[in-house]
Amino acid sequence: MRSRYAAYALADADYVRRTWHPDTVPAELDLNDGVKYTGLRIHRAEGDEVEFTASMKGPDGQPHNMRERSRFVQLDGRWVYLDAAE
C-alpha cells in the first residue's frame, strides 16, 4: 500500500500498473493531473484488505481526503491491488 501511494505521489504510472491486478487495471491512467499527495494514514490492515486515508491537494490547491478500503490478492507470489472493497 505504501509503495503504491509513493508511486502515485511520484506520478510513476508504470509502477502503479505493475501492482494492479490485470483484470481490474484501467485502460487509461493519468497521474500527471496536478494532484499533490500530502499524506497517507493506514487505519487497518487485515488479511487481504487495507483501509487508509490519502491526503492530497487538487490542482486548485484545495485539500482533499480519500478514504478507501482496498482489496489485494497474491498473483505470481506478489501482492497486487484488486479493487475497492464495498
Kindly report, residue by residue over 8-67, the tens digit of the pLDDT.
999 999 999 999 999 999 999 999 999 999 999 999 999 999 999 999 999 999 999 999
Q: Supply 68's cell numbers.
A: 478507501
Q: What is the pTM of this model?
A: 0.91
Based on DSSP, count helices (H) and strands (E) in the chain, helices before strands: 2, 4
